[in-house]
Structure 1
Amino acid sequence: MHHLIRPAACALLAFGLAAGTASAAVTVTYVNTEKMTDVPRFETDRKSMEIDFREFFEEQAKKLPAGQDLKVEILDIDLAGDVFPRVPIRDVRVTQGTYDFPRIHLRYSIEQDGKVLRSGERELADRNYQLNANSYRSEMYHYEKQMLSEWFRKDVLAVN
């Protein structure tokens, strides 16, 4: 039995190392989140939003070719809808589909071996956010994620 464990452990270790080197490094930086146009007002909710978007960018970066790394600076966020403060611990966000569309201002770069392959600054907005098909419908910030996904597909991956 012991003669089977060692080869299996080596194979798992090799697979883990190979999988670790294949994933892209992702750096997401939020520039003055507390001064952004429209983010959650409570610090814990803002931190949760930051983690949510960071995880989203990590998922998107998996689509990059091996060895490429993604760096994103979030300069401003205006979430879809308007906030109506309710009770002291929770706000209500209502979307009407007119002037309250999502907007995100970001700066990005794709790097490989320490060299910048491409970079840019974008002011993303989706005026038709409620009319578009949305594959993130069951997630928080689904309108923003759909907009970011389209940007990533058209602007970042299209160059590859």
Structure 2
Amino acid sequence: MTCRPGVARPRKAASLNSRPSRPVCAQCAPDNFPRRLAASAIQGDGHHRAADEAMQRAPLQGAFFLGGAHNLCGLSDKEIDMMASTLFKRTLLLGLTSVSLGAIAAAAQAQAEVNFIKPENFSDIGWAGVDRDNAMKQLEEHFKALAARELPGKQLKIDVTDVDLAGEVEPRVRTDRLRILRSVTIPRMSFSYTLSENGQVLKSGKADLKDMDYQNSGGNRYFDTEPMRYEKKMIDDWMARELLGKTRLAPVR
């Protein structure tokens, strides 16, 4: 039978026992990774079962499956391949972007190396093991954040030899201890440092920090809710003075 111009040739109805000429489960095609990726993303888990059930209900020639149900748009193989290729390219681009962001974050962290030398002998770095771990983590992350922001392209190595946190922990019957701030319980910190760039040492030395006026909140840019705000201010002042030649660091925007 020939078709007249402008008249579509009728499609022969498929029997209930017939199968489409194109694989229903595109994910099963071993030689077409983009199509398998598209099928996995569109259909999700259990796509084989959903496809089989839909085939038993009404296998239609030229139809594909979306979430286990027929899509009667009658898309061609070329159109499906284009959709699969687009999805594959977007997934690949997203993966490359994630890798790039991860590399940037790793590079920022690599700008500072912080070591704690025999922290069990520190004057006061917290009451118990968890408190000590949290305190060391706060100090390490603060050094790294400052180095990434204030010392781009340079490497800073810090070896902390002693920490004496602001205030003093009062022993109580309760499991949680209360840290009392007094004018005489000032924050102190001792460490050695090395600042280098491209393998060349720019500056090195030892630092013994203390803040006699730590309770004067007028010069502290950190809120009361900021953990270890007194120690962080002390580190900020040291970096501004010794490594940057400034009176203070610029506010973080």
Same fold per superposition (TM over 0.5): yes
Could you state the TM-score of these two structures normalised by the residue count of structure 2? 0.55
Kindly indicate whether structure 1 or structure 2 has the higher relative contact order, using CA contacts under 8 Å at least 6 residues apart.
1
Q: 1:22-53, CA deviations, whole angstroms, 9 ceiling, x for partnerless residues? A: 52522111111111112213112111111111
Partners of 1:24 and 1:68 within 8 A in 2: no
> What residue number does 1:99 align with?
184
Q: Say how many residue pairs are matched.
A: 158
Q: Which runs of 4+ in 1 moved over 6 A?
A: none
Pairing partner for 1:76 from 155, 159, 162? 162
> What residue number does 1:29 align with?
115
> What residue number does 1:113 align with?
198
> What residue number does 1:157 align with?
244
For 1:117, the aligned partner's letter is L
Distance 2:108 2:187 in 1: 29
Q: 1:95-122, CA deviations, whole angstroms, 9 ceiling, x for partnerless residues? A: 12x2111111111111222222111111
Could you list the runs of 5+ residues in structure 1 that have no partner in the other structure?
Answer: none
How far is 1:17 from its partner? 6.8
Partners of 1:22 and 1:66 within 8 A in 2: no
Q: Which has the larger radius of gyration?
A: 2
**Distance verdict in 2 for CA 1:102–1:65, change over 3 Å:** closer
- Which secondary structure state, in structure 1, belongs to the residue aligned with residue 159 of structure 2? strand
**Distance verdict in 2 for CA 1:144–1:115, change over 3 Å:** same
Partners of 2:127 and 2:169 within 8 A in 1: no
Distance 1:76 1:99 in 2: 18
Q: 1:65-89, CA deviations, whole angstroms, 9 ceiling, x for partnerless residues? A: 4331111111111111111012463
**Distance verdict in 2 for CA 1:143–1:29, change over 3 Å:** same
Distance 2:243 2:168 in 1: 30
**Distance verdict in 2 for CA 1:23–1:81, change over 3 Å:** same
Instruction: Give aligned-pair identity as a percent.
Output: 29
Distance 1:46 1:14 in 2: 33
2:240 aligned with 1:148, yes or no? no
Q: 1:113-152, CA deviations, whole angstroms, 9 ceiling, x for partnerless residues? A: 2222111111111111111422222211111111111111
Q: Which moved more, 1:45-54 or 1:4-13?
A: 4-13
Q: 1:1-20, CA deviations, whole angstroms, 9 ceiling, x for partnerless residues? A: 61872785487268537735
Could you list the runs of 5+ residues in structure 2 that have no partner in the other structure?
Answer: 1-82, 247-253
Cα RMSD of the aligned pairs, angstroms, is 2.5
